[in-house]
Amino acid sequence: KRFGRKGAPTRVLFIMGLAASHNAWQAQVERLVAQGGCDVVVFDNRGTGASSTPPGGYTTDAMASDAARLMDHVQWRDAHIVGFSMGGMIAMKLAALHAPRVRSLCLISTHLGGFFFRLPGPKGLSNLLQILAAPLVRRLPAGRRLASRMRSHLDLRCHFTPSFLNSVSLPPPTPRRRPLRWAFKRISRAARAAAPFSRASRAVRTLGRRAVYFGRRRYDAARVRYDAASAAYRQRRLQRLQARRVRRLALLERRGGGGGGGGGGPPPP
């Protein structure tokens, strides 16, 4: 990708390291473009990101030739080369093979190559152990997500500074309601992944099933009691209404019988 003003006097080519895309140069590209007067090009190495995966050996000589061909494609005679990690090794190879095309060389977190030439420090060894342990962690039952998280944290530590990461504002996570049954499922799944045949995992799974079972039983029993109480209440109300109706009819009959007997008899002699 090309950013900035085409034909600017300052031309900068960024070369990224192993298994990282050109998006890692976003902060540097934005700063240079904001200053103005720069023509910036970033790209993905072969076999990485949006680039193709051609057959053959993936050596620094071949990748340096790729960078030189890219400069030919954008019609650059020379440029300032910036390389990070393995990209720094590619930049050094580009300077060795095409010295007239390199105006300046900026090397970040890189070395000349060779396993015993320069051993990394404690921090570098820690990062290297995380990279080597990722395939082993991926084989665990729940290790795929953990391995991808390890790789993401490693890329963030290597490619970005803490101040830049703290300056990025992320939206707050939206809270979600998680019912009790879902929580028991997660607990039983974690216990089953940690120890499939242990007593603890069986106890947790049994506890979850019993909680769900007894919860349903309590709900069903409460529902039955409520229905029974509602039926009994309706029956008592119907009985009261019927008794009130019977009393009212009896009262009307007594009143009607007394009035007819006093006014319908023969006159006295």
- What would the pLDDT profile of 157-213 be if each residue is shown by its tens digit? 766 667 776 776 655 655 555 555 566 666 666 655 655 555 555 665 566 666 656
Using the predicted structure, report yes or no on whether residue 44 has a pLDDT greater than 80: yes
Q: What is the pLDDT of residue 170?
A: 59
Which range in 55-64, 79-88, 149-158, 208-217 is most confidently predicted, on average pLDDT?
A: 79-88
Q: Which residue has the higher pLDDT, 262 or 124?
A: 124
Q: What is the pLDDT of residue 181?
A: 58
In this prediction, residue 262 has a pLDDT band, given cuts at 50, 70 and 90, of very low
In this prediction, residue 89 has a pLDDT band, given cuts at 50, 70 and 90, of very high
In this prediction, residue 126 has a pLDDT band, given cuts at 50, 70 and 90, of confident
Cβ–Cβ < 8 Å for 134, 150: yes
- What would the pLDDT profile of 104-115 be if each residue is shown by its tens digit? 999 988 887 765
Would you say how long the chain is, in residues?
A: 269
